[in-house]
Amino acid sequence: MYITAKVIWNFLFYNTDFHESRAHVHVGKKSTEDLCKIWLEPEVEVAKQGDLTDAQVREVVRITTEYKDKLIKQWNLFKQGSPIRIIKIRK
């Protein structure tokens, strides 16, 4: 019997990112130490792979592309010092 567990990805903004002008998000899962960094603009692209495998990077880039507008909205709230909300993705 095989059980497939879903990976829960965490998309994060760091306080140290506050001074960066280009919108981006850091992505990893609970056990990830070196997170993947993904630029949100002008196009979604990987800035740093971190500890993720190539397949994992492809998956988070796909999710990031799908939710790009929502992530940029959250980035803008973050930059304004406003509270950001958790985006729940159900697949």
pLDDT tens-place string over residues 23-50: 999 999 888 899 999 999 999 999 999 9
Question: pTM for the full model?
Answer: 0.86
- Exposure class string for 18-51: b at 16+ Cβ within 10 A, else e: eeeeebbbbbbeeebeebbbbbbeeebebeeebe
What is the Cα–Cα distance from 42 to 45, expressed in whole angstroms?
Answer: 9
Confidence of residue 58 (pLDDT cuts 50, 70, 90): very high
40 lies in some domain: yes
35 lies in some domain: yes
29 lies in some domain: yes
Q: Number of structural domains, the chain?
A: 1
53 lies in some domain: yes
CA 53 to chain centre: 15
1 lies in some domain: no
Given a cut of 60, whether residue 2 has pLDDT beyond it is no
Range of the domain at 55: 10-80
Highest-confidence range of 13-22, 26-35, 82-91, by mean pLDDT? 26-35
Helices (runs of H) and strands (runs of E) counted in the chain:
2, 4
32 lies in some domain: yes
Q: Provide the pLDDT for residue 8.
A: 85
CA 17 to chain centre: 13
